[in-house]
Amino acid sequence: MNEMHWRFVSNLNAGDDGLNDAGIETFTANMTYSLVRETIQNAIDAKNKENQNPVIVEFNDFYIKPTEFPNNQEFIEILGKCLASNKGDATTVEFFEHAISVFSQSIPVLRISDYNTCGLEGAESGLKGTKWHSLIKSSGSSNKELNSGGSFGIGKSATFSCSDLRTVLYASKDSSGIDSYIGVSRLVSHEEESGKWTVGKGYFTESDKMNAILESFSLDGYIRNEPGTDMYVLGFSELDNLKYNIIESTIKNFIVSIWKEKLIVKYKDIIISKNTLGQHIGKLSSKRYQDIQNYYYILSSKDPSILHIALKKEEYGEKYGFGDGECELLLMEGEEFNRNILMTRSAGMSLFEQNNIHGSISFTGILMITGDKMNEVFKKMEMPAHDAWKPGRCRQNRKFYENAYKDLRKYIKNQVIDNFGKPVGDEIEAFGAEDFLPEIKDSGNDEKKKEVLESSIITIENKVVKPPNKPLNTIVDEDDENKPDKPDKPDKPDKPDEPDEPDEPDEPDKPDEPDKPDKPDEPDEPDKPDEPDKPDEPDKPKKKENYKLVNVKKRLICINKEAGEYLIKFTIPDKAKKAKLEFVLVGEQSSSKIGIVNATCKSGKVKIIQVDDNIIIMNNIINYDDVVIQVAIEFDEFCMLEVNYYEN
């Protein structure tokens, strides 16, 4: 048996390999994000079809001593040769000086392990065409099935982009129980002592044929007992925000795979599965990840307004060989949606968001291609980074692919228009009016509906107010009910000096007579110090300031006009301590508060803790909770209502 070494074969003077590896450079812009995306995709593609459980991908970071690095002294010498052989390239010199310094302290390592997969079959033979050969030795090629996610073999470079040593160790147990491991290092061509130059790619192996070592392997004490693959990224460079980056990349790229129970991702004590997906999405920033939250709502909600449209081949695809149901389109209409469709294929990885569908209808949705033929066609158009479909990549029968993609976009556009488009006629819908006009349940009679838009005045209160010695543009807040002004009424005796005013003070006395007996007792100015207690009331506005207006899709249904009863339906967007609903009656010239008689939660987990004037205050605010509240208001005519949702 030969000894284990880091082996770099001669390039036979055919050409040098530099540091700027095209495959690795593809992923350097967002290294951890790409690493997570590509390694998970490869694991899904390696799914063991005989195992019905989801693919599990586990990430674990740890440190090793420099002496635990396989043949560390030999490898450090190779780094030195790479440095010495490329003195004229400043970038290369900088890279290898840093790589050598990595061995001066503990070395960070990231292990990526997958389960319910087949492992690297073919390790014992190393033959071309096996899964082992495709991952370890092939460049720019892939032998994956047509319905797989990967297609170019470039994704395996993502692990090297995150290594300060450009080195990864692969260990595996295949479905036959064969253990194997091998190290792969993608450095640069360098000169050996013999004067010969090497290729840039080397292997840690015991064979000059660069075959796998048929033994189990571990760096962190982990023992594999089932089929699957372990990748050890040595000199892992992206430890900062690793947890967040794993969660973000997993959710953004595999939300459909996770929801369909094809995938579970773990990082230490964090588990991202169908059961926990909503919790993790809820912790993401609302503004930055609003589209992701909308996609999750489409997948998870039972909202009947969400459309599930299975492909009918006569509408699209028959001339391309697609059958019924080869894709499913999920659509939802609502305010301020991105007007995009998230495109996915069978593996469930999010590819890109198709835009330029319709400029005036606010919608969002997901297209899931599941059929074999449709997957085959669109996989051939897919870019290596899995972020676009380009028919120009298909040199043979290019027109076929151009038309297939163009007609798919047309099909999606037609579905949006057919389901959400507004009929063209004499009437023009006021933009945003759907937020205010309540939906009316059919009451079963032909009673003529009265439009109440003439005024926003609900009650008229007769008051005589002394003209203030203030500019005319001063606004008096009627919510204070002029209570602070009542003690000033004794000043009105000054008015009798005017000839026609004597009777005027008597008129306000009539509505105020019940209070009149108290006023003789109030001349004692000492009672006024009680009024200063009111400065405590600014605490209430502070609480109000803590509430922020949140845009949510709401639906208001009138269920009993005479009783002023309505159902308000909405979905909570974010977890919060408290939330409140504000009801406002909207008129042509102005708006005003509308009193709430009572409110009852008919569906959802929220708890109504207070009904105050036109406000409903709730707690137990859980994100993505579908809520239905029945409300009775102090108004028995059809009207224009505005309902605002606030979170604390």
DSSP labels, 417-460: HHHHPPPPSS--PPTTGGGTSPEE---SS-PPPPP--S------
Q: Distance between alpha carbon 634 and the CA centroid of its chain, in Å?
A: 40
| C-alpha dist (Å) from residue 74 to 6, 69, 595 | 7, 10, 81
| Strand spans (E) along 116-222 | 163-173, 179-186, 201-205
Alpha-carbon gap, residue 486 to 202, rounded angstroms = 92
Say what the pLDDT of residue 416 is. 96
Rg of the Cα atoms in the chain:
35
The two beta strands, 350-354 and 576-586, are: unpaired
Q: List the beta strands (DSSP E) in 24-131.
A: 55-64, 107-115
Q: What is the DSSP letter of 54?
A: P
Q: Cα-flanking dihedrals φ and ψ of residue 20, to 5°?
A: -80, 75
pLDDT at 487: 42
pLDDT of residue 101: 98
Pairing of strands 179-186, 163-173: antiparallel
DSSP-assigned letter for residue 583? E
Task: Write the CB contacts of 493 (distance below 8 Å, at least 6 apart in sequence).
Answer: 505
> Please, which residues have CB within 8 angstroms of residue 377's CB and are 6 or more apart in sequence?
320, 321, 322, 401, 404
Query: What's the pLDDT at 465?
Result: 45
pLDDT digits 0-9 by tens, 399-431: 999 999 999 999 999 999 999 986 544 434 444
- The DSSP bridge partners found for residue 332 are 364
Three-state DSSP class for residue 80: helix
Q: Which amino acid is at 644?
A: N
pLDDT-flagged residues of the chain (< 50): 149-152, 424-437, 439-460, 464-545
Query: If DSSP codes are grouped into helix, strand and coil, which group holds residue 187?
Result: coil
Q: Which of 37, 26, 51, 114 is CA-nearest to residue 349? A: 37
End-to-end CA distance of the chain: 70
E strand segments, 116-178: 163-173
Contact by Cβ (8 Å): 298, 333: no
In degrees rounded to 5, what are phi and psi of residue 214? -85, 65
131-141 pLDDT tens trace: 999 999 987 65
For the domain bounded by 544-647, which CATH number is listed? 2.60.40
Count the neighbouring beta carbons within 10 Å of the beta carbon of residue 224: 18
The pTM assigned to this predicted structure is 0.66
Which residue from 348, 179, 184 is spatially nearest to 258, judged by alpha carbons? 348
List CB contacts of 19: < 8 A, sequence separation 6 or more.
86, 89, 91, 92, 95, 188
Q: Where are the domains of the chain?
A: 5-242, 290-420, 478-537, 544-647
Q: What is the pLDDT of residue 588?
A: 58
CA distance linking residue 365 with residue 352, whole number of Å: 12
Report yes or no: 104 and 97 within 8 Å, Cβ to Cβ.
no
Residue 408 DSSP label = H
Q: Is 168 within 8 Å of 156 (Cβ atoms)?
A: no
Q: Which CATH number fits domain 5-242: 1.10.287, 3.90.320, 3.30.565, 3.40.50?
A: 3.30.565
Per-residue tokens: 615: 């406000």
* HEC string for 247-315: HHHHHHHHHHHHHCCCEEEEECCEEECCCCHHHHHHCCCCCCCHHHHHHHHHHHCCCCCCEEEECCCCC
Q: Are strands 270-272 and 5-7 parallel, antiparallel or unpaired?
A: unpaired
> Do 48 and 117 form a contact (C-beta atoms < 8 A)?
yes
